[in-house]
Structure formats: C-alpha cells, structure tokens
A and B are shown apart, each in its own frame.
Chain A
C-alpha cells in the first residue's frame, strides 16, 4: 500500500529538549516536504527536499532542521523546541513534477510545554 508514515503521532515534550519526527514514504517519490497546520493559518511549508541531499527552506523554517540522506526518509529535527512550535505537523511526498498530487502522512501532534 502506497503511504507516507510519520512517527510519533502524538508527542508532548519540554522546552529545549531535542526531538526528531520521522517521515518515510514507500512510493519512490523524489520530492518530500514538511508542513505545519495552525488554527486560522492553514498549512504552511517548513522545509522541502527535491532529492537526496537537496533540501531548502519553505515559508516557516526557523527553529527546524531537516536531512535527506535516503530517498525514502525525510526527518524533521527540532534542536531546541519552544512552545510556539506546538502544532500539527504533516510530511508529504510527490513525484517530481509540480502538478502531481502530494501524498500526506497522518500527522504528528506536537505539544511543547
């Protein structure tokens, strides 16, 4: 089954404690990205990757890091989480090509206290 898998689904952490949200896709997609969803703001792109070892900032990259060492995996790293990073996070992947649909993971609900 084609899917994008994120882990964990839910996470509560404390300010400053480094964490990683994993994302894996099994569709051999070249393009992957991370979004955050906040009330009244819709979905905003954090980082994206066009292929292995190729990553770039999206609209709201501050406080986040990513890496793309393998085609299937695209982890999101919060080196020092802060309460304003409390949000719902989605990983997405798509074939290379701007008009192809994106497949989204089920989301990670992060709370930073």
Chain B
C-alpha cells in the first residue's frame, strides 16, 4: 500500500507558465515532507521541504503547499524554465530515517 502517492506520471508545461506537481499521502500523522528533483543519469537532489506546522514554504521559484485536511501537498514552480525538466519525487521521512518516495512525476517544460 503506497503511503505517498503521485498520481500523475507526467506533466508538460510551457516555459514561463506555472508547473503544479501533486502528492497525496495516506497517514494523517505524517508531519514532514520533502521534494526531490532528479535529472537523467544523476541521483536525486533535495529541493524543498515542509513541516506540518506550516501550510506553505517558499524558496525562490519553488513553493510547496500542504493541505493537512485533504492529506495533499503540491509543488508550484513559477515561472517554469526548460532546466526544470526532470522527475520530481515527493517523500516522507518515516521511522528509522527511511524516506518513502512517491513514484515520481516527469515534468517537461517546453521552450
């Protein structure tokens, strides 16, 4: 049973527009989430995180929103750039420091 779900395998947007990547989770006790970005032939790199004491965290063009009642989080990228084209994973750090990842969403930003 997937604890962290990314239901959209892919997303395509135009350069300059907003990209919205979504993630749902099953356990209302989850209190911290991270987003990772992965380019082909590279390992995932940390992008941004959010704690359940907040409903929003912003870092430059990247903003993560957390809706605890809906058990949903989203990553907004504004404006999107071609260099943002990558696979994005949401993740939850559970017990024993294990990161549980969603299956990922491939973002393609078209020039």
Contact = CB atoms under 8 A, between A and B. Distances in A.
Given A48-B96, A50-B97, A98-B97, A105 B32 contact: no
B43 A40 contact: no
A112 B98 CA distance: 27
Contacts, number: 62
A101 interface: yes
Contacts of B95: 98
Contact of A105 (B9, B43, B102, B103): B43
Given A101-B34, A102-B46, A105-B43, A42 B93 contact: no
A42 B6 CA distance: 10
B98 A58 contact: yes
B96 A50 contact: yes
Interface residues of B, number: 25
Chain A binding surface SS class: strand
21 contacts: A33-B97, A35-B101, A40-B9, A40-B103, A42-B89, A42-B104, A43-B89, A43-B99, A45-B99, A45-B100, A90-B44, A92-B99, A96-B97, A97-B97, A98-B93, A98-B94, A98-B95, A101-B34, A101-B46, A102-B99, A106-B41
Interface of B: 6, 9, 32, 34, 41-46, 49, 51, 89, 93-104
